[in-house]
Structure 1
Amino acid sequence: MSKKELEAESYFSKDFSWDELREEVENNPSFQFHLHPYSSKRTANQNHNALKNAEAWDKFHACHSSGKFFKERRYLLKEFPELASCGENKKVLEVGCGNGSTILPILRGHESIIVYACDCSDEALERTKEIIGAADSIPAKHRFHPFLWDFSNRFPSWLACHSCSGTSSGTNSRDEMGMLNPSCYNEIECCIGGVDFVTLIFTLSALPVDRMPTAIAQCFGVLKPGGLLLFRDYGLYDMTMLRFKAEQQVGYREYMRSEETRSYFFCLDTVRNLASAAGFIEVELEYCCVKSVNRRTGRMMKRVWVHGKFQKPGGEIE
C-alpha cells in the first residue's frame, strides 16, 4: 500500500472523552449492575472449556458467514504502521483470525510480509481462506499460512523453536492455501524461529478471564527479541457492554452472548498488568473513543477500544 493510500484512510480515535463517558455511565441507575462485583448467584454455572469455546465460535461464524458480516479493518495500518514499514520477509502471527478482516490489510500493506494465522474455529478458518483466496492482486499462497489452534494453550513448537537444523524427516501436510494439518504440527518441514509481530485484535476478550495470563505469556514466547505485540480490544463502557443485560453477565465486566461466545471489556490497568506480568515493555496504551452512526437508525454510538503496543525485551524491530 502506498503512502498516499495510507494517508487516505481517515481514522479518528479521540471523538469524545473517556472520563466524561465514565462519569455518564456511573451516574446512570440503569447501568449500575455493570459496576458492582459480580455475583455468581445471578446465573447458572458457565464452565467454558476450550472445546466448548471452539464450538461456540463455530456456531457464531456459521451464523455470520455472509459477505455483509465481513468488514476489512482498513484502519489497521494507521494504528500499527510498523506492519507496513518493517523490513523484508517479516513474520506476523495473527491470533484469533476470525474471518480474515485483519489479515487482508496486512497482506495488502507489505508485499513481502508473511502471515501465520490461527483460530479455534474451523468455520472461521474456512471463511478466512475463501476471503484471502478471492482477494484481488494479493499473491498470498506463500505468504499466508492458517492453522487451527486455541491460543490459550501452548503454541506449537515450530513457531518459536530455534533448534531446527534442516528439513525434518516427517511429512508436512498442507493444502493449496498452506493450511497446516493439526496432526502434523510436530512434523513441520522447518521451524520458523519466532515471529516479529503478534496481532491480538478483538481476541483476548473472547477468553475466560482466568485463561488470559497464559494466553499473553504464549504470545510473549513466540516473539523474537524486540518483537511487538499489537493489541486492540473492547474497552470499558463501550456501547456493546452497555447493551448486555444483567442475566448475560458471567463475571466482572464479562458477558456471554446467545450463541455462548464471551466478551470481556478492558480497562487500561488490566491490559497493562497482563502484559507486564508476561514480561512485555509498554510502548503505547490508551483508550480509542470513536463516535459512529448506525446508518439504518441514524443513532449515534460511542465505541471504546483499548489500543496497545508492547515490546519483548532484547532487540529492535527494523
Structure 2
Amino acid sequence: MRKSVEAEEYHSKDFEWEELKNLVESDPSLSHHVRFRHDHESQGHDLGEDRDSFAQVDPQAWQNFHARHSSGKFFKERRYLLKEFPELLPHGENSKLLEVGCGNGSTVLPILRGCQNLTVYACDCSTEALVRTKENIDHSTVTSDNFHSFCCDFSRFEFPKWLACDHCRENVLDKQIGSHSDASCPSHELSSVQPTEEHRSADVSSKSPSTGDQCCIGGVDFVTLIFTLSAVPQKRMPRAIKECYSVLKPGGLLLFRDYGLYDMTMLRFEPEKCVGFREYMRSDGTLSYFFCLDTVKRLFTGAGFIEVELEYCCVKSVNRRKGKMMNRVWVHGKFQKPK
C-alpha cells in the first residue's frame, strides 16, 4: 500500500470513511440513501450482486452530454494520476496503455505529458467525446504521435482484436499511415465499434490485412478505468471488466478510480433519482453508481484479477464560492492479471 507520507501529500486520508458512514446512516434526512441498502439486506440480496436497474438507459445520453459540454471547461485535467499510479512512469519503449472511457481527455492528457514513451490507446462509447479528446490534445503542448483513439462501448461489445494482437495492431497502423488517415479520428480505421446498433459497421480493423485470421498473443501493459465503470449499468459491469482483462498482457495492471459509497455527489441525489442498488440517474439520462470496497473486490477478482491495492480515498474539498466543506469519497484500486 502507499506510504503514509504519500497519503498525506495526496490528501487521500483527510477523514475516516467509517466515521462518514456513521454520520450518513444516522442522519434522517439522508435515510433514502440507506433505506435501499436495508431493503436489499432484508430480502437476502448479496450487496455485490449485479441486477438490472429500474430505469431504461438511453444509449445516446453520453453522446448528448459531451455535445452540451463541448467547450471542455466542464472537466479538469487529472494531474494527480501519475502520483497515484507511479507504475506508469518506469516503462519500456514499447509499453502500451488502454484508457477506457476517455471522455474529453482529462485522463489521457497528463499521461501523454508525463509518459512520452508510452503508446496510448483510448476509447469511449461517444464519438463526441473522442472529438473533444482530439481537440484538447491538439490544443495542448503534448504530441499525438503515440496516441490513437477508437469508438467502443466495452460494456456491450468486444474490444477490436487488434488491440490484443501486436502483429495485427502494427498492420492496422501501417495501413493508416499509408493512406494518410488520422488515427485519432473515430471515423477512420480504428473506429471498429459504433455507439449504437444502428451505426455498427463491419470490423475492418479486427484482422490483419496481410495475415487474415492469424493472431499472436500480445495485449497492453496497462488499462486505466478512471470514473468510467460507475457510468455502466450494474448488470453489465462483470462483462465490462472481463473485456478489460482480455486485452491485458499476463502480469499487466488495471488502474482503477471511481466514486465511493457516501461520496458527496451521492448524497445530493434526491430519492426519485435512485434507480437501483447504489445507482442513480441524472436528469440528462446518464448513470452514476457508488462503490464500496467489497463490491469492487468481488467484481475484479471474479473476472480473474489479483488485488494489489484497494482503499477509499477520503478528501475534504472546499467550495470557495459557497464557503462549504465537502466530503469526497473515491475508491482507489490496482489489479493485476496473473502472469
* Residue in 1 that maps onto 2:263: 238
Whole-Å separation in 1 of the counterparts to 2:78 and 2:180? 27
Count of aligned pairs between the two proteins: 297
Shift of 1:178: 3.3
Match for residue 253 of structure 2 among 224, 228, 235: 228
Whole-Å separation in 1 of the counterparts to 2:316 and 2:275? 28
- The one-character-per-residue Cα deviations of 1:246-268 (angstroms, maximum 9, x if unpaired) are 10110010000011000000000
Shift of 1:162: 6.1
Q: Give the AA of the match of 1:186.
A: S
Structure 2: unaligned runs, 5 residues or longer: 1-5, 41-52, 193-200
Whole-Å separation in 2 of the counterparts to 1:200 and 1:66? 24
Structural RMSD (CA): 2.5
Whole-Å separation in 1 of the counterparts to 2:167 and 2:128? 33
Q: Secondary structure at the match of 2:154?
A: coil
* Residue in 2 that maps onto 1:154: 158
Which of 123-132 and 151-160 deviates more? 151-160
Q: Secondary structure at the match of 2:36?
A: coil
Q: Secondary structure at the match of 1:178?
A: coil
Shift of 1:171: 5.5
Q: Secondary structure at the match of 1:37?
A: helix
Which of 290-299 and 182-191 deviates more? 182-191
Q: Secondary structure at the match of 1:220?
A: helix
Contact kept, 8 Å, 2:168 with 2:208, in 1: the verdict is no
Residues 305 and 74 from structure 1, CA distance in 2 versus in 1: closer, same or farther, beyond 3 angstroms? Answer: same
> Are residue 185 (structure 1) and residue 205 (structure 2) matched?
yes
Residues 165 and 68 from structure 1, CA distance in 2 versus in 1: closer, same or farther, beyond 3 angstroms? Answer: closer
Contact kept, 8 Å, 1:84 with 1:106, in 2: the verdict is no
- The one-character-per-residue Cα deviations of 1:131-157 (angstroms, maximum 9, x if unpaired) are 011111x2222x100100001121111
- The one-character-per-residue Cα deviations of 1:165-220 (angstroms, maximum 9, x if unpaired) are 9847x965774353323353335568792100000000000011000000001111
Residues 166 and 45 from structure 1, CA distance in 2 versus in 1: closer, same or farther, beyond 3 angstroms? Answer: closer
Q: Secondary structure at the match of 2:135?
A: helix
Whole-Å separation in 2 of the counterparts to 1:228 and 1:289? 23
> Are residue 121 (structure 1) and residue 126 (structure 2) matched?
yes
Whole-Å separation in 1 of the counterparts to 2:169 and 2:78? 38
Whole-Å separation in 2 of the counterparts to 1:308 and 1:261? 24
Q: Secondary structure at the match of 1:33?
A: helix
Whole-Å separation in 1 of the counterparts to 2:235 and 2:281? 15
Contact kept, 8 Å, 2:161 with 2:207, in 1: the verdict is no
Q: Give the AA of the match of 2:121.
A: Y
Shift of 1:56: 0.2
Relative to the length of structure 1, the TM-score reads 0.87
Contact kept, 8 Å, 1:171 with 1:188, in 2: the verdict is no
Whole-Å separation in 2 of the counterparts to 1:166 and 1:87? 17
Q: Give the AA of the match of 1:158.
A: W
Q: Secondary structure at the match of 1:151?
A: coil
Whole-Å separation in 2 of the counterparts to 1:232 and 1:224? 21
- The one-character-per-residue Cα deviations of 1:262-298 (angstroms, maximum 9, x if unpaired) are 0000000000000111000000000000011112111
Contact kept, 8 Å, 1:280 with 1:310, in 2: the verdict is yes
Shift of 1:73: 0.3
* Residue in 2 that maps onto 1:4: none
* Residue in 2 that maps onto 1:140: 144
- The one-character-per-residue Cα deviations of 1:76-115 (angstroms, maximum 9, x if unpaired) are 0010001112222310000000010000111111111011
> Are residue 87 (structure 1) and residue 64 (structure 2) matched?
no
Shift of 1:47: 2.2
Q: Give the AA of the match of 1:12.
A: H
Q: Give the AA of the match of 1:271.
A: V
Shift of 1:58: 1.1
Structure 1: unaligned runs, 5 residues or longer: 1-6
Q: Give the AA of the match of 2:206.
A: N
* Residue in 1 that maps onto 2:50: none
Q: Secondary structure at the match of 1:85?
A: coil
Residues 47 and 199 from structure 1, CA distance in 2 versus in 1: closer, same or farther, beyond 3 angstroms? Answer: same
